[in-house]
Structure 1
Amino acid sequence: MYALNPTRERNLLWLLALTQFTVIMDFMVMMPLGPQIMHAFTITPAAFATAVSAYSWCSGLSGLFAATYIDRFDRRRLLLAVYALFALSNLGCALAGSFSLLLVARAFAGLTGGVLGSVIMAIVTDVIPPARRGAATGTIMTAFSLAAIAGVPAGVMLGAHFSWAAPFVLLVALSLAIWFACMRIVPSLSEHLARQAPPLKEVLPDLGRLLVFPRHLNAFALTFVMMVSQMLVIPFISPMLVANHGVEPQQLSWIYMAGGAATFFTSRAIGRFADRYGRRRVFRIFAVLSVLPVLFVTHLPAMPFLLVVLFFPFFMVAVSGRMIPMQALMTTVPAPGHRGAFLSANSAVLALGTGCGAWLGGLMLSVTPAGHIDGYGMNGWGAVALVLVALVWINRVKAADEPASTLDPGSAEVPASR
């Protein structure tokens, strides 16, 4: 364990949170830019969804396979190298002159973003004692709220006043500034290199056993279903508002700012409720509460823009409120010796579900001759159907200390069912 003085530790955590902020903003800002990107490249909602999905799929796969090499390098050097590639990928997005080039740049951004998430959490694990690791993780997680409150609205405003590429230029500038700060603040973290890393011929089979263990599979299935449900709806809110309701692109920032601010204040309260009243119970409550907002936003009637802004916090709180108890439940699923690997794999499944949901959602939509988006209501019904499946399936997701019919991978005992 590395010993850092309190000031340097605090600076390091906030620097890592800012690094994560750029990664989250890079993914989130694509969705409100949808109308401009679709117009600039003359593409359909399905093609736009492919660009969103490419990032998520590549992020999930790179994050999963990072487990095979992340412990073979100095954390600082790996962070600086991958973050430089991340900045380069955003420069590629900003300079893309065709949709094909944008698609390649988004895939590259996903590859680097997935690895960055793993490296950041590895650094936190290395420098923060277990007793304070939860609070440290909370600091890192503020990146999500900051991206919703500040990053995405800023990107939307830049996109509306300049072009869709402007937010990616901003990301390049932010990434370069943070990269130089990392050069100064992040210490060399190579203590783990003293331990002999297992050869790949052992790592890959262990990873395979982790993925197919029945209790883990039940948890991965829940994560995948919930992310598909969310992404059938969320990426297409902005294109729908612009195409069907005449909302100006620059006005979208108010919607995301309102939703992000609401989740910033409610997320920790929902987490406390999950600890006090049970993770499954709170998940079910918010899953049921989310049904009406999802159906409302996918069947949105003509209404003043101010009412849309006032509605969006309810939508965001209900939808994000499902994920908080679910993620808390996921931390209880693996045995302690497999927790890190399981959570990395679950993050990869989450990203893959995000990509699949956006892709399927795009396939279900079409553009009418008048330029309106058609079929969004079916996306809403599909999302609700998957939530109902999750309400039943969550009973199958068991914590490590709950009765189970099989044992954890790596156990010396042989399950009686064999």
Structure 2
Amino acid sequence: MPFALYLLGLAVFAQGTSEFMLSGLIPAIARDLSVTVPAAGHLTSAFAVGMIVGAPLMAVLSRRFSRRSALLAFLVTFLLVHVVGALTTSFTVLLVTRVVGALANAGFLAVALVTATGMVEPDAKGRATSALLGGVTVACVAGVPAGALLGEAWGWRSAFWAVALLSLPAVLAIARAVPPGAPDAGGPSALGELRALRGPRLLVTLLLGALVNGATFCTFTYLAPLVTQVTGLGAAWVPGMLALFGIGSFLGVAAAGRFADARPVPLLVFGSLALLTGWVLFAVTAAHPVAAVVLVLVQGALSFGVGSTLIARALYAAADAPHLAGGFATAAFNVGGALGPWLGGLAISAGLGYRSPLWLSAALVATALVVGGAALGLGGRSPENEQALGRAEAGAPSPDTARSRADS
């Protein structure tokens, strides 16, 4: 993998830390800015909405600039809003910075996905996607617990300063390592790319990604009360369990990077079946500490392994939308990231207990399996699809890949 790809991963690490770190900072922010805890919780919702709306919009906007210029503009904006957030005494200003930061984050990730896959061979999109998304998993392992520790030691503002400082070397590195390039004026128009994004294979892949990611964050969001109230472990175990989930996600992304290009269909089918089985087992055995510890690691690995593979398949399916593919993939996965916690919260508020997000996660993955199976059943009998599946299982490039190689 090109070294510049890992520099993009550094920026994604900083952004992933910012996205997830608020889970441990909300009470302190509420006290300091004199708002209620539910009101402070809107900071998380604002970031999610900004990611969903911002990914396609920023992807369209970035068409006017070279990829390096777009990456730098988004990352510098992200850095500056964290400085403002660290300095402000106004909750309204902080809320605005979260929305703007999410827009910048969404734009950066959309362009970075396309840039990363453009740095490698056309049939290595899965490996490139996994290397980039490794930054998110490292944020789960190290960034989020570190943000919580900083907030406890020096106040919530220190975590915002830390994200800004993490972003600075990424800005300098991207300015030096990412090729300058130029706006792709001769490529397809924005309208042409939008038409290309209506393909049924891509739409199904994005829907599957939203469902799997919704399952992931339905449970991950409520992992702390699950561990303390159902499993019976003390609060001191919570950072370790969160980090264990992050370690699993890192292992899952790394493993998926080895197989997502050569054998995507078996990986998605068997990975999703294992993921469904794991959520059901977790729901049944959540009161047993050993089982909970093992399944947190396993489900983190399976969730991110299947999820990163679906992102790679979306990029393959959107070969005729080179600018907007990353934006729509980012938006779809953030729809899941917003839907899952909302459904989990509804279940808990309805008095179904802290196990209920686990059952909902299982239901979401089961829905993904039904949708994916139906899509294969409806389209898999055509000669084109049978040939495509055969090529995927054999590790041969798809027609989209061949067309991309011919154009390059």
TM-score (norm 2): 0.76
Give the Cα separation in 1 of the matches to 2:117 and 2:256: 25
Match among 272, 287, 290 for residue 284 of structure 1: 272
Residues 285/362 of structure 1: CA separation in 2 closer, same or farther (3 Å cut): closer
Contact 2:58 2:103 in 1 (8 A): no
Give the Cα separation in 1 of the matches to 2:376 and 2:91: 44
Give the Cα separation in 1 of the matches to 2:168 and 2:292: 36
Residue 105 (structure 2) pairs with residue 113 (structure 1): yes
Give the Cα separation in 1 of the matches to 2:294 and 2:215: 23
Residues 43/236 of structure 1: CA separation in 2 closer, same or farther (3 Å cut): farther
State how 1:342-357 maps to structure 2 within 5 Å: 342-357=325-340
Identify unmatched segments of 5+ residues in structure 1: 1-5, 368-372, 408-418
SS in 1 for 2:338: helix
Residue 368 (structure 2) pairs with residue 390 (structure 1): yes
State how 1:345-384 maps to structure 2 within 5 Å: 345-366=328-349, 375-384=353-362
State how 1:45-60 maps to structure 2 within 5 Å: 47=39, 50-60=42-52
What is the aligned partner in structure 1 of residue 81 from structure 2? 89
What is the aligned partner in structure 1 of residue 220 from structure 2? 234
C-alpha displacement at 1:172, in angstroms? 0.8
How many percent identity over aligned positions?
25
What is the aligned partner in structure 2 of residue 166 from structure 1? 158
SS in 2 for 1:31: helix
Give the Cα separation in 1 of the matches to 2:313 and 2:124: 20
State how 1:299-338 maps to structure 2 within 5 Å: 301=287, 312-327=296-311, 329-331=313-315, 334=317, 336-338=319-321
Contact 1:255 1:308 in 2 (8 A): no
Contact 2:126 2:256 in 1 (8 A): no
Give the Cα separation in 2 of the matches to 1:38 and 1:362: 20
Residues 139/83 of structure 1: CA separation in 2 closer, same or farther (3 Å cut): same
Residues 180/296 of structure 1: CA separation in 2 closer, same or farther (3 Å cut): farther
C-alpha displacement at 1:321, in angstroms? 4.4
Match among 130, 135, 140 for residue 148 of structure 1: 140
Give the Cα separation in 1 of the matches to 2:326 and 2:375: 14
What is the aligned partner in structure 2 of residue 412 from structure 1? none
Give the Cα separation in 2 of the matches to 1:39 and 1:80: 35
C-alpha displacement at 1:263, in angstroms? 3.4
Identify unmatched segments of 5+ residues in structure 2: 386-408
Residue 187 (structure 2) pairs with residue 203 (structure 1): no
SS in 2 for 1:29: helix
C-alpha displacement at 1:345, in angstroms? 1.6
Residues 326/181 of structure 1: CA separation in 2 closer, same or farther (3 Å cut): closer
Residues 276/210 of structure 1: CA separation in 2 closer, same or farther (3 Å cut): closer
SS in 2 for 1:73: coil
**RMSD of equivalent CA atoms:** 3.9
What is the aligned partner in structure 1 of residue 251 from structure 2? 265
Match among 18, 23, 26 for residue 15 of structure 2: 23
After superposition, the C-alpha distances for 1:11-34 in whole angstroms (9 at most, x for unaligned) are: x23322211211222212233445
Give the Cα separation in 1 of the matches to 2:281 and 2:24: 19
Residues 252/96 of structure 1: CA separation in 2 closer, same or farther (3 Å cut): farther
Give the Cα separation in 1 of the matches to 2:177 and 2:306: 36
Residues 34/233 of structure 1: CA separation in 2 closer, same or farther (3 Å cut): farther
SS in 1 for 2:156: coil
Give the Cα separation in 1 of the matches to 2:359 and 2:177: 49
SS in 1 for 2:221: helix
C-alpha displacement at 1:48, in angstroms? 5.6
Question: Which residue identity does 1:180 align to in structure 2?
Answer: L
Give the Cα separation in 2 of the matches to 1:174 and 1:145: 16
Contact 2:60 2:324 in 1 (8 A): no
SS in 2 for 1:337: coil
C-alpha displacement at 1:95, in angstroms? 3.6
Residues 96/239 of structure 1: CA separation in 2 closer, same or farther (3 Å cut): farther
What is the aligned partner in structure 2 of residue 253 from structure 1? 239
Give the Cα separation in 1 of the matches to 2:200 and 2:10: 37
What is the aligned partner in structure 2 of residue 220 from structure 1? 206
Residues 270/349 of structure 1: CA separation in 2 closer, same or farther (3 Å cut): closer
After superposition, the C-alpha distances for 1:13-61 in whole angstroms (9 at most, x for unaligned) are: 332221121122221223344555566666456x565432321221222
Question: Which residue identity does 1:378 align to in structure 2?
Answer: S
What is the aligned partner in structure 1 of residue 396 from structure 2? none
Contact 1:53 1:356 in 2 (8 A): no
Q: How many residues align?
A: 381
Question: Which residue identity does 2:301 align to in structure 1?
Answer: V
After superposition, the C-alpha distances for 1:62-121 in whole angstroms (9 at most, x for unaligned) are: 221233232321333222222111012222333454544433222111100011112223
After superposition, the C-alpha distances for 1:322-369 in whole angstroms (9 at most, x for unaligned) are: 43554455455x2643476445423211112212333443454459xx
C-alpha displacement at 1:181, in angstroms? 3.2
Give the Cα separation in 2 of the matches to 1:187 and 1:402: 40
After superposition, the C-alpha distances for 1:181-207 in whole angstroms (9 at most, x for unaligned) are: 3334444222x45x3466xxx524x35
Give the Cα separation in 1 of the matches to 2:314 and 2:377: 8
- Higher deviation after alignment, 219-228 or 108-117: 219-228
C-alpha displacement at 1:318, in angstroms? 4.2
Residues 131/295 of structure 1: CA separation in 2 closer, same or farther (3 Å cut): closer
Give the Cα separation in 2 of the matches to 1:154 and 1:137: 25
TM-score (norm 1): 0.75
Residues 319/58 of structure 1: CA separation in 2 closer, same or farther (3 Å cut): same
